[in-house]
Amino acid sequence: MTDYHIPVLLNQCIEQLDIKPNGVYVDVTFGAGGHSKAILNKLGAKGHLYAFDQDEDAWLNSLDADNFTLVQSNYKYITKFLRLYDVHEVDGILADLGISSHQIDVPERGFSFRFDAQLDMRMNTKASLDAKQVINKYSEDDLVRVLSEYGEVRNAKTLAKLLIEQRRISTIETTFQLNRILDKVLMGQSNKYYAQVYQAIRIEVNDEVGSLKTFLESGMKLLKPGGRFVIMSYHSLEDRLVKNLFKTGNIKGDIVKSDYGVISKPFELIVKKPILADNKEQRINPRSRSAKLRVAMKIRN
């Protein structure tokens, strides 16, 4: 599946992981396996790569290697599943957050406003909550919260009210039905507005923020001293959580001091500012335009 997904900032990710041939690494967002293949190329026979993905489509890309294990699960369960393999600490963790190109480009998944499809947006197709339920069942207050927090939709209250009015007339079932409603309250450029709304709903459907919080806290504990966290985010809320963890050791960004007044800093920032894709990569792979790559090394438990 070569066109499944183009890995973003591939060379930079592999360089920043600082891979040891005999190390244990985790790629928590396997997708098409682009990052995982590059990691495996750096590993020796005694090294091992564990990869996670909850999307059944991604499992078709699994790699045939003795030192590779694909875990069919959400990355928030990283600790639970690694323990099943008797793995209690790792040398590096890579995460490429958000949605894959494949998920957007398959119409029936309902992730994209470009295709007329049922409103779905589930990364795990067995999950109970889908986009249709969010749009048709959520209260007005909850819709405002989702749209404003996850999509930064400026007229979230106006849109939420309109969604409530429209669903009283008939159930909102398809992406094009939703688009026609969005057109009535459109602010700015249509594609950007659509993207903000769809992103907000997708994040809610998949509990992406909750999963990220759990993963970050678990990953911090799994890393060995000297191990590296390499994380790409595409949304300001995600990036803020990653930035907070790396700077303070907690996702809230709270400064923690010991009884002696010493500030707790579990990580050393390997790059002070996030790494961004250059103009060439942005032209080839538009998804890379909003990518921010942050890197930190664990210095103590």
- pLDDT of 176-226, one tens digit each? 999 999 999 999 999 999 999 999 999 999 999 999 999 999 999 999 999
The full set of domain ranges for the chain reads 10-101+208-298, 128-205
Q: What is the pLDDT of residues 102-115, one digit of tens each?
A: 888 899 999 999 99
Query: Measured between alpha carbons, how far is 30 from 181 in angstroms, rounded to an integer?
Result: 35
Q: Which top CATH class is 128-205?
A: mainly alpha
Helix (H) or strand (E) holding 95: strand 90-96
Q: What is the pLDDT of residues 109-141, one digit of tens each?
A: 999 999 999 999 999 999 999 999 999 999 999
Q: Determine contact, residues 248/217, Cβ cutoff 8 Å.
A: no
Q: Determine contact, residues 204/123, Cβ cutoff 8 Å.
A: no
Residue 287: pLDDT band by 50, 70, 90 thresholds? confident
CATH topology of domain 10-101+208-298: Rossmann fold (3.40.50)
Indicate whether 152 pLDDT > 70.
yes
Q: What is the pLDDT of residues 25-40, one digit of tens each?
A: 999 999 989 999 999 9
Q: What is the pLDDT of residue 248?
A: 95
Mean pLDDT of the chain: 94
Q: What is the pLDDT of residues 10-27, one digit of tens each?
A: 999 999 999 999 999 999
Q: What is the pLDDT of residues 54-69, one digit of tens each?
A: 988 888 889 999 999 9
Q: Which two tokens stand for residue 275?
A: 């790494």
Q: What is the pLDDT of residue 286?
A: 87
Task: Give the distance, in angstroms, between the CA of residue 110 and the centroid of all CA atoms in the same chain.
Answer: 18
Nearest to 186 by CA among 177, 199, 200, 197: 197
